[in-house]
């Protein structure tokens, strides 16, 4: 890497990853968006889950202007972002067996719903168990993960008792294209790679999937339940109508 312009290097790396997603994941994104559209059309609810920094991409699509009003956050206490002290506790909880099943059972998610699970490595007990439990309950699962972590001689081993990864228990898998370690840059004098891009690609996959869902619903003659910004004229009134119509499938207002 050049000694100058690390910002440009990172942006170029991110653009390269997004280009790969555009070129290689179009079919999977279409399948994921169609799965969500099928769920909405059938009266189902939508949920998103991610632990640690993977949770950022899940939170990004909940109660979001321009986003689907039906997307709810499936929250596992202590693992949402880095909202606990010490922050390392969240990482430890990702390796606890039984936690995901208990949370899912206590959640409003049920058969006929859809759940997007975001996990960069897809190797920890929490996301694997979440996917297993969801599918056993009749919930469709979309996984957003990096397949690099589950394939090849350098792939880390699964931390789930089954030895499997998130990708093994999904109806649709979206590959975030992130290399093992999630660090795009190196620099002379810096002892370890740095500059993670997993949030960039995971968020892009999420937004592309939801955009596909909205367009698919419209193509079927169904008005997609989208939110508007509360900072534009009429936005709050628009959202109030959406909340009233779809209130039985929205949980972040309760």
Reading the block at residue 46, the tokens are: 């939508």
Euclidean distance between CA atoms 113 and 44, whole angstroms: 5
pLDDT per position as a tens digit, 135-175: 999 999 999 999 999 987 888 988 888 989 999 999 999 99
Q: State the DSSP H helix or E strand holding residue 205, giving kind and residue range, or none if neither.
A: helix 198-219
Largest separation between any pair of C-alpha atoms in the chain: 58
If pLDDT is split at 50, 70 and 90, which confidence band does 90 have? low
At 4 the pLDDT is: 59
At 1 the pLDDT is: 43
Task: Indicate if the pLDDT at residue 91 is higher than 80.
Answer: no
If pLDDT is split at 50, 70 and 90, which confidence band does 248 have? very high
If pLDDT is split at 50, 70 and 90, which confidence band does 2 have? very low
Average pLDDT of the residues in 115-144: 95
| Secondary structure of residue 87 in the 3-state scheme | coil
At 81 the pLDDT is: 62
Q: State the average pLDDT for the chain.
A: 92
Euclidean distance between CA atoms 47 and 131, whole angstroms: 12
Helices 6-24/26-41 angle, 10° precision: 70
Euclidean distance between CA atoms 138 and 115, whole angstroms: 11
Burial 79-113 (b: 16+ CB within 10 A, else e): bbbbeeeeeeebeebbebeebbbebbeebebeeeb
């Amino acid at each position: 890497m050049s000694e100058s312009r690390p910002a440009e290097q990172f942006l170029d790396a991110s653009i390269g990853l997004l280009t790969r997603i555009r070129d290689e994941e179009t079919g999977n994104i279409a399948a994921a968006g169609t799965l969500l559209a099928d769920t909405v059309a059938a009266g189902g609810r939508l949920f998103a889950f991610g632990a640690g920094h993977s949770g950022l991409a899940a939170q990004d699509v909940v109660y979001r202007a321009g986003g689907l009003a039906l997307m709810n956050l499936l929250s596992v206490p202590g693992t949402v972002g880095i909202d606990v002290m010490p922050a390392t506790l969240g990482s430890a909880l990702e390796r606890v067996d039984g936690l995901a099943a208990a949370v899912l059972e206590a959640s409003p998610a049920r058969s006929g719903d859809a759940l997007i699970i975001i996990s960069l490595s897809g190797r920890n007990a929490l996301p694997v168990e979440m996917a297993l439990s969801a599918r056993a309950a009749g919930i469709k699962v979309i996984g957003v993960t990096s397949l690099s972590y589950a394939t090849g001689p350098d792939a880390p081993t699964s931390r789930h008792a089954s030895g499997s990864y998130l990708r093994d228990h999904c109806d649709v898998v979206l590959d975030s294209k992130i290399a093992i370690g999630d660090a795009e840059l190196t620099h002379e004098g810096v002892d370890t790679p740095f500059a993670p891009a997993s949030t960039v690609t995971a968020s892009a996959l999420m937004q592309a999937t939801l955009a596909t869902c909205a367009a698919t619903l419209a193509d079927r003659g169904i008005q997609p339940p989208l939110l508007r910004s509360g900072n534009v004229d009429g936005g709050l009134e628009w959202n109030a109508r959406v909340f009233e119509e779809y209130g039985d499938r929205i949980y972040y207002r309760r």
